[in-house]
């Protein structure tokens, strides 16, 4: 419509915004068509425009398409990839667990005398850690500690202690926390929330409380995440009394509960066998207009399975579908186990088939993206 106006003149800024928009909406093919249209209208491509197009492919996990864009950039003297181009592509490779490509990108950067920035390295650290590649993770981290241009920051600290905390390796988490502190990195609220969550999962309530008191002492605010971590710790063991006390304190301080808060409450009451409180929690979530996402429905399905109320579990599952809320492997695992426990092998089999179809469709979608080329 805009192009049909007599005053229309193609502008780089307009195309940049459109490329970014199409990338965020998962439409790399249309972004590429738009890019070609821009060239046809006489606009000269720039490194920034190419990077926006490359980002569109990365957002849709089209790694091969993104590398094709990178190769195109190299052929134009004024469109050479920079640290931002490489950073976007490295993050996409990490997210897709294509670590062999990460190493080749590092080599290309070195050939061009481009140093990775801290944001890039933090993404790589996180990817290596989640994949259990601790030797490579430590290599990157030591490189950052020795670097003069890519120093670790609080995000680096949070990434590392979160990785060890999630794996329950408390001693390693504490050791790295002290290393970063000695390096001069100051913790932030999220850092303390990570520690609280890790201690809570290991039922180290004294240390969990100590961190919370330390936050108060340093005048760090307790956030929704802080309370959620504490509520989750008590919910996992069915400690309804302390879970309720924490939730009441959270509301008394004017802190707004979110979906995770209610997921933890629902699971906690289910673990405690207080199923009437599961119902009241679901009702309260409705009154507070808490978003009902996949995790929320999974928590309610878990509670129904725990109470051996398979009819209600089925109703919740159908309501989840009716609201077009995406099911996942957790949804099916809970329900299949519940049906098997009651000897309902036919229903368990039907769900297994449905789950296989879901997995096949997901795989088909990923492959269709990968077939897109320039």
Instruction: Report the pLDDT value the prediction gives residue 10, as an integer from 0 to 100.
Output: 55
Do you know the residue count of the chain? Answer: 374
**Distance from C-alpha of 293 to C-alpha of 295, rounded to nearest angstrom:** 6
**Distance from C-alpha of 275 to C-alpha of 268, rounded to nearest angstrom:** 10
The mean pLDDT of 284-298, rounded to a whole number, is 96
Tell me if 335 sits within 8 A of 349, measured CB to CB: no
Q: How confident is the model at residue 284 (pLDDT cuts 50, 70, 90)?
A: very high
- List the structure tokens of 336: 């299949």
Query: Is residue 275 classed exposed, middle or buried when 0-12, 13-18 and 19+ CB atoms within 10 A define those classes?
Result: middle
pLDDT, tens only, 129-157: 888 888 889 889 988 988 888 899 999 99
The mean pLDDT of 271-290, rounded to a whole number, is 96
Tell me if 136 sits within 8 A of 99, measured CB to CB: yes
Torsion, CA 290, CA 293, CA 298, CA 304, rounded to 10: 40
**Distance from C-alpha of 195 to C-alpha of 373, rounded to nearest angstrom:** 44
Q: How confident is the model at residue 2 (pLDDT cuts 50, 70, 90)?
A: very low
**Distance from C-alpha of 265 to C-alpha of 370, rounded to nearest angstrom:** 41
Does pLDDT of 339 surpass 90? yes
Q: How confident is the model at residue 101 (pLDDT cuts 50, 70, 90)?
A: very high
Handedness of CA 114, 120, 122, 126 (dihedral sign): negative
Tell me if 86 sits within 8 A of 123, measured CB to CB: no
Instruction: Report the pLDDT value the prediction gives residue 134, as an integer from 0 to 100.
Output: 87
Instruction: Report the pLDDT value the prediction gives residue 363, as an integer from 0 to 100.
Output: 57
Q: How confident is the model at residue 243 (pLDDT cuts 50, 70, 90)?
A: very high
Instruction: Report the pLDDT value the prediction gives residue 66, as an integer from 0 to 100.
Output: 94
Does pLDDT of 341 surpass 70? yes
pLDDT, tens only, 215-233: 999 999 999 999 999 999 9
Query: Is residue 113 classed exposed, middle or buried when 0-12, 13-18 and 19+ CB atoms within 10 A define those classes?
Result: exposed
3-state DSSP call for residue 35? helix
**Distance from C-alpha of 238 to C-alpha of 269, rounded to nearest angstrom:** 6
What angle, 0 to 180 degrees and rounded to 10, lies between the N-to-C axes of helices 294-306 and 275-287?
A: 160
| Angle, alpha carbons 116-119-120 (nearest 5°) | 45
Does pLDDT of 211 surpass 90? yes
Instruction: Report the pLDDT value the prediction gives residue 364, as an integer from 0 to 100.
Output: 56
DSSP-derived secondary structure letter, 150: S
User: Mean pLDDT, the chain, as a whole number?
Assistant: 91
Tell me if 208 sits within 8 A of 192, measured CB to CB: no
Tell me if 335 sits within 8 A of 321, measured CB to CB: no
Q: Tell me which H or E stretch contains 316.
A: helix 310-322
The percentage of residues in the chain with a pLDDT greater than 70, rounded to a whole number, is 94
**Distance from C-alpha of 193 to C-alpha of 99, rounded to nearest angstrom:** 29
Does pLDDT of 362 surpass 70? no
Handedness of CA 131, 132, 135, 139 (dihedral sign): positive
**Distance from C-alpha of 109 to C-alpha of 92, rounded to nearest angstrom:** 16
Contacts of 248 (CB under 8 A, 6+ apart): none
Query: Is residue 221 classed exposed, middle or buried when 0-12, 13-18 and 19+ CB atoms within 10 A define those classes?
Result: exposed
The mean pLDDT of 63-78, rounded to a whole number, is 93
Element counts in the chain: helices (H) and strands (E) = 20, 0
3-state DSSP call for residue 139? helix
Alpha-carbon separation of residue 208 from 154, 155, 213, 243 (angstroms):
20, 21, 9, 14
- Which of 159, 229, 235, 244 is closest to 199 using CA atoms? 229
Q: How confident is the model at residue 270 (pLDDT cuts 50, 70, 90)?
A: very high
């Amino acid at each position: 419509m805009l192009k049909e106006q007599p005053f229309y003149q193609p502008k780089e800024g307009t195309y940049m915004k459109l490329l970014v928009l199409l990338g965020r909406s998962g439409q790399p093919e249309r972004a590429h068509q738009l890019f070609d249209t821009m060239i046809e209208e006489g606009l000269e491509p720039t490194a920034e425009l190419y990077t926006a197009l490359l980002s569109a492919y990365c957002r849709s996990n089209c790694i091969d398409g993104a590398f094709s864009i990178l190769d195109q950039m190299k052929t134009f003297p004024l469109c050479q990839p920079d640290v931002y181009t490489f950073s976007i592509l490295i993050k996409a490779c990490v997210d897709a667990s294509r670590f062999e490509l990460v190493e080749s990108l590092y080599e290309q950067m070195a050939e061009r005398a481009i140093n990775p920035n801290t944001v890039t390295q933090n993404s790589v650290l996180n990817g290596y850690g989640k994949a259990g590649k601790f030797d490579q993770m430590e290599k990157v981290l030591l490189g950052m500690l020795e670097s003069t241009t890519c120093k670790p920051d609080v995000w680096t600290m949070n990434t590392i202690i979160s990785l060890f905390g999630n794996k329950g390796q408390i001693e390693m988490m504490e050791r790295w926390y002290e290393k970063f502190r000695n390096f001069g990195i100051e913790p932030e609220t999220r850092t303390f929330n990570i520690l609280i969550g890790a201690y809570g999962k290991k039922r180290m309530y004294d240390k969990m409380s100590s961190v919370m008191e330390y936050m108060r002492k340093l005048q760090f605010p307790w956030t929704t995440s802080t309370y959620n971590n504490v509520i989750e710790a008590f919910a996992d063991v069915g400690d309804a009394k302390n879970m309720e006390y924490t939730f009441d304190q959270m509301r008394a301080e004017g802190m707004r509960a979110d979906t995770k808060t209610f997921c933890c409450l629902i699971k906690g009451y289910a673990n405690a066998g207080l199923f009437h409180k599961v119902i009241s929690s679901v009702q309260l979530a409705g009154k507070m207009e808490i978003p009902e996402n996949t995790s929320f429905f999974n928590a309610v399905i878990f509670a129904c399975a725990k109470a051996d109320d398979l009819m209600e579990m089925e109703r919740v599952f159908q309501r989840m579908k009716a609201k077009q809320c995406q099911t996942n492997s957790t949804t099916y695992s809970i329900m299949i186990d519940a049906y098997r426990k009651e000897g309902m092998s036919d229903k368990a089999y039907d769900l297994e088939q449905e789950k296989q179809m879901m997995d096949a469709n997901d795989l088909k979608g990923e492959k269709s993206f990968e077939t897109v080329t320039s």
